[in-house]
Structure 1
Amino acid sequence: MKRIIPLVIAILSVAFFVGLILKNEQHLKQSDSIYIRLAPVDPRSLIQGDYMALNYDLGFWGLPEQNNQTDIPLNDTVIKNKSSVIAYVALDAHRRVVKTSFDPRLLEMYPSTSHRIVLKNPDNRLDRLYPASNSFLFAEGLAECYEAAQYAEFKVDQQGNAILASLRGGDLNTLGCENHKKWWSGEKARS
């Protein structure tokens, strides 16, 4: 019996991680893409390799109240002491985020071009909210290519859960950074 317990634990652990991977793969395949404008910073970590710290231009705004048409105040009390908050985004024709609000009436104002999204809240500050990830790891030697990123592509499901899928250029084009360098051999790719 003592020999079986570690084996059962190992099998259950592998099954859990395979299930998690399959769930995320389904999320990536079946979710809608939305694009959020970046304000990237590109530090280098000696421990992690190359990575880009991501800041997002979410374009927060208040919606007018129904009776007196004044704006709902946008301040940090709306998000105070919450690890994550639900926000609503209005998208343009290319599915880029143009407005973000905490008011669900945004979905009614833009029924065909709006989406719900869950934002992480590390510091109880509006300017520090982010969807899913605030950094992007990449292979060493590709920093110059990823500096051209202007948008982050997120796959967002109906509940608003987001997964960072890729970084994109100004016209939402794929950067193709993986083709610029063969990181496993240290050689530059030939065009």
Structure 2
Amino acid sequence: MKKYKWFIILANLVILLVYFNYSISQKEELLQDGKLVLLPLAPVDPRSLMQGDYMSLRYSISQDVDYEKLAKRGYCVVRLDSGDIAEKVRFQQNTTPLNKGEYLIKYSSSDPWNINIGAESFFFQEGHSKKYEAAKYGGIKIDKNGNSLLVGLYDENLKNIK
């Protein structure tokens, strides 16, 4: 049994490392090839807006939603204007139907009043909170499958806040 114990531990470690590296490569591919979409930010309770070195984000696509009819997981279908600012079209459970000029963003809804697209926190260096208070848009990269990755915050002039 001792012979197999180390083999099992090593095999599990290799599997974990392969999965971890695959996940990183998927995110890197999304960063490189994904479509930049700007999601308008919705107001958040100012007492919880800044907590240490991160900002809690909420997007306007999660407003005016009938949460009772919304599936726990699905896709938010958006259409982009000339500035790549997303406007919510509808929510759906599957990747189809998808009309020309529409894009998918995966969401999950764990509680009855919140839609999570996986980019609800923006971390920044301590002491830099003032410059991020002007943020009007969350910039995410999306792929054709609806996966998203937060890449930055943007001001009203559509400039990346750095």
Q: TM class by shorter-chain length? A: 0.7 to 0.9
Equivalent residue number for residue 128 of structure 2: 142
More RCO (CA 8 Å, sep 6+): 2
Would you say the 8 A contact 1:88–1:106 is kept in 2?
no
SS at match of 2:141: strand
Q: Does 1:101 align with 2:101?
A: no
Correspondence for 2:18 = 15
State the TM-score, normalized to the length of structure 1: 0.69
Contact 1:33-1:95 within 8 A present in 2 as well? yes
RMSD, aligned CA = 2.5
How far does the alpha carbon of each residue in 1:136-155 deviate from its partner, in whole angstroms, 9 at most, with x for none? Answer: 12221121122121111111
Conserved? CA contact 1:150–1:167, under 8 Å:
yes
For structure 2, the 5+ residue unaligned runs are none
For the pair shown, the structure with the greater C-alpha radius of gyration is: 1
Q: Write out aligned runs for 1:1-191 (5 A).
A: 1=3, 2-39=5-42, 41=44, 42-44=49-51, 49-58=52-61, 75-79=66-70, 82-102=71-91, 107-108=98-99, 111-112=100-101, 114-125=102-113, 128-176=114-162
Looking at structure 2, the residues matched to 51 and 60 of structure 1 have their Cα atoms a distance apart, in angstroms, of 22
Distance 1:133 1:37 in 2: 13
The DSSP-based 3-state class of the residue aligned with 1:78 is: coil
CA gap of 1:175–1:6, structure 2 versus 1, over 3 A, is same
In structure 1, the gaps of 5 or more residues are: 62-73, 177-191
Secondary structure at 1:58 match in 2 = helix
TM-score by length of 2: 0.80
Aligned-partner Cα distance in 2 for 1:3–1:99: 52
The CA distance in 2 between the partners of 1:4 and 1:105, in whole Å, is 45
